[in-house]
Structure 1
Amino acid sequence: MKFLHTADQVRYQRMTNAELKDAFVMQALFEPGQLNLTYTDVDRAIVGAAVPLAKSLALPTHKELASAYFCERRELGVINIGGDGKVLVDGETYAMTKLDSLYVCRGSKDIQFISNDEKSPAQFYLVSYPAHRTTRTQHVPLAEANAVAMGDQQSSNERTIFQSICPGIVDSCQLVMGITQLHNGSVWNTKPPHTHRRRTEVYMYFDFDPSQRVFHFMGAPEETRALTLAPGHAIASPSWSIHSGAGSCSYSFIWAMGGENQQFDDMDHLTMDQLG
């Protein structure tokens, strides 16, 4: 397990782009045949990925969790961005096609990730937060997520938000998770920008050409910074930071939140002239 130590809202202002990436960005997540995890100090979120090939990959615990198994006191969200696969949770099999979600509840002991075809492997993206209660594990196909149309082509942010692990669909503890797909010709992912002091968030960008980039804007509203992110990169957003971006092409991203409440619309919106 790797560890991500983020900077505070004063120190980040004096950091280079390389230092900001070291503090906020997770770059080497999706590696064939590997399960990678990064423990962040942003609400103790753990972000990772599993890309199984011929063999299944088991979710391990770590001494920093001080637990007998990974989900002893944690909940886990899983979204597949690759080929067809399966997740086994305590002997129960959940088939996962591309963009399916799986919520794994606290207390789940044995979690295994499997690809149906190693030539087109599943790519499981993982986000975990501490959990104070036990609910139930639940599979959410993309077709069963709340699909919300947002934005317009004129302002370059026409997009569809798929809310999959959220109130009304999944009874999670604090995790809220889903997918945003930008329509062709749109590049802004979150407009207007916002903060939400009551919860933190992680973005993971995917489904665009490796030669292209997303320019992710972070920081206090009056003192923003931009980082260039490639497909498969994730970035942790503390509660004091905006999290918005514009790409050199259309793309998708997975958002995951944990904190004081689970209401998706609970945001403190900002106008563009408030950004510095």
Structure 2
Amino acid sequence: MKILYAHHPEDFKQYTTEKLREQFMLETVFVSDEANFVYSHVDRIIYGGVMPVEKRVTLDAGKELAAEYFLERREMGVINIGGPGRIKCDEEIYEINNKEALYISRGTRDLVFESSDPQNPAKFYVNCCPAHKSYPTTKIGFEKAIKRPMGTSENMNKRVINQFIHPDVLETCQLSMGMTVLEEGSGWNTMPCHTHERRMEVYFYFDMEEDTRVFHLMGQPNETRHLVVANEQAVLSPSWSIHSGIGTKNYTFIWGMCGENLDFDDMDHVAMKDLR
């Protein structure tokens, strides 16, 4: 598990492109028959992918968590973007198909990920954060996610926000996750942009063609930078950073948040005139 330490925005100003990508991007999310995770000191989030192909993948706590088992003190959200698969949580088995989610309770000891078809493996994208209480493990199908249409074609940001792990769907300690789908002809995921001082965020971009790229914007509003992101790559976004991006074509992304609160609309909006 790769460890990333927190970054001060004043230090961030000096980073080269290579340094930005090293510290904020997970360029390869899915590795065959492995759990490929990043442990960030930004709100202690863990994010990454599990792609079982020829064998099952079991999650162990490892040295990084100093715990008896992975979810001894944590909760987890999983969204499958690949073929059909299943997740064993202790004695319960959950069938998780494409664009379905599973919230997994703190205290779940045994976590096993498996694909139904090695030729079309499941791709389980994972966000995991500290938890103070146990809430029930719950499957959330795509049809059960709250749909929030946003944007306009004129502003090139017409999209639907699908809220899977959200207070209006189920209770969690601090984790929120959802999936934003941009319509054809739209490229902006959030503009005008915002920050939210009380929560960090991770973006995972997918459903992109080989030559499609997203220019992910980050940094303080008066000191912006960008990362060029390809299909199935993830970007860590600290609370002091703007959250925005523009694609060369429409795309889909999963957002995950943890931190001080669970209020999705708790945003500090940035006026266009204040961006630099």
TM-score range, shorter chain: over 0.9
Give the Cα separation in 1 of the matches to 2:107 and 2:34.
24
Paired residues for 1:74-153 under 5 Å? 74-153=74-153
Deviation at 1:6, TM superposition (A): 4.2
Do residues 232 (structure 1) and 198 (structure 2) align? no
Q: Which residue of 2 aligns with 1:15?
A: 15
Unaligned runs of 5+ in 2: none
Give the Cα separation in 1 of the matches to 2:93 and 2:200.
31
Give the Cα separation in 2 of the matches to 1:31 and 1:226.
26
Q: If the length of structure 2 is used for normalisation, what is the TM-score?
A: 0.98
Deviation at 1:260, TM superposition (A): 1.1
Do residues 220 (structure 1) and 216 (structure 2) align? no
Deviation at 1:54, TM superposition (A): 2.4
Do residues 27 (structure 1) and 40 (structure 2) align? no
- Cα gap change, 1:84 to 1:206, in 2 (>3 Å): same
- RMSD, matched Cα: 0.9
Deviation at 1:29, TM superposition (A): 1.4
Give the Cα separation in 1 of the matches to 2:152 and 2:76.
33
Q: Which amino acid aligns with 2:110?
A: D
Aligned residues: 276
Give the Cα separation in 1 of the matches to 2:75 and 2:23.
24
What percentage of residue pairs aligned between the two structures are identical?
46
Q: Which amino acid aligns with 2:196?
A: H
Corresponding residue SS for 1:197: coil
Q: Which residue of 1 aligns with 2:269?
A: 269
Corresponding residue SS for 2:20: helix
CA contact (8 A) 1:85 1:96 kept: yes
Corresponding residue SS for 2:21: helix
Give the Cα separation in 1 of the matches to 2:56 and 2:266.
39
Corresponding residue SS for 2:28: coil
Unaligned runs of 5+ in 1: none
Give the Cα separation in 2 of the matches to 1:269 and 1:214.
21
Corresponding residue SS for 2:53: coil
Deviation at 1:263, TM superposition (A): 1.0
CA contact (8 A) 1:6 1:23 kept: no
Deviation at 1:9, TM superposition (A): 0.2
Q: If the length of structure 1 is used for normalisation, what is the TM-score?
A: 0.98
CA deviation map 1:11-31 (0-9, x unaligned): 111111110111111112112
Q: Which residue of 2 aligns with 1:3?
A: 3
CA deviation map 1:148-176 (0-9, x unaligned): 10001000000000000010211111000
Q: Which residue of 2 aligns with 1:200?
A: 200
CA deviation map 1:63-93 (0-9, x unaligned): 1211000000000000000011111101211
Corresponding residue SS for 2:113: strand
CA contact (8 A) 1:5 1:24 kept: no
